[in-house]
A = this chain, B = another copy of it.
Amino acid sequence: MPDQNAPARTPHRPRSEASRRAILDASLDLCAEQGYGPVTVEAIAARAGVSKKTIYRWWPSKGAVVLEALDDVANPAADFPDSGDLRADLVAQMEGLVRGLLSDQRFGRALVGLIADTQHDPRLARGLVDDLFHPRIEDARRRLAKARDAGQLHQDADPDLAIELLYAPLYYRLLLHQGSLHSMDELRVLVDHVLRSTAPPA
């Protein structure tokens, strides 16, 4: 497990992994309880049993803490399945995502608030896209390209457009307060529609 955050291997007191975990956990716990907005760095520090200075030493802002916490949580949760059946894989992945957003409020409320925060913090927006979204979008793109090459999709279907059509409705409902998130039935209908539309215009 190579640590890409290694602090240049200085020969002195190392960073406390216990404090790091406590901070990340506390940030998601507080988001679940109060929502992202009202959570303060001071509250995170207090909950984690840690000094404010320790947080500001390693993260530039509350958003950066929550981003790292979400990345930790999401890593195992949102893997992209590959059973050979594209439709089933898409439905399964999206079901997992929606379930994560709904059931575990540690995830949903924190993500929504974090996205809100990125609207006036360009550096945080960079981190959200590069660390959280881009890798997972790449996974989906690869899965769709593979399906296309295997003949399960029109030969010049556009994976990027398909990804937008699939996932945008989720965030549309989530961020624009359009009712509750999709039910499992609605997800299947959504995937069916998108797969049926992946032929390019005449």
Contact = CB atoms under 8 A, between A and B. Distances in A.
Contacts of A36: 119-120
A199 to B, nearest CB: 7
A26 to B, nearest CB: 18
List the number of copies, as a whole number.
Answer: 2
Interface of A: 35-38, 112-113, 115-121, 125, 128-129, 133, 161, 164-165, 167-169, 171-173, 175-178, 188-190, 192-194, 196-201
Q: Lowest 8 A-B CB distances belong to which pairs?
A: A37-B120, A197-B197, A168-B172, A168-B168, A116-B116, A116-B119, A192-B201, A193-B197
Nearest to A165: B165
Given A168-B168, A192-B201, A129 B176 contact: yes
A88 B140 CA distance: 32
Contact of A172 (B37, B171, B201): B171
Contacts of A190: 161
Given A113-B120, A115-B119, A165 B176 contact: no
Given A190-B161, A201-B189, A171 B177 contact: no
Contacts of A200: 189
Nearest to A190: B161
A188 to B, nearest CB: 8
A140 to B, nearest CB: 13
B172 A128 contact: no
Contact of A169 (B116, B168, B173): B168
A62 to B, nearest CB: 13
Contacts of A118: 177
Contacts of A173: 164
A35 B120 contact: yes
Contacts of A172: 164, 167-168, 171-172
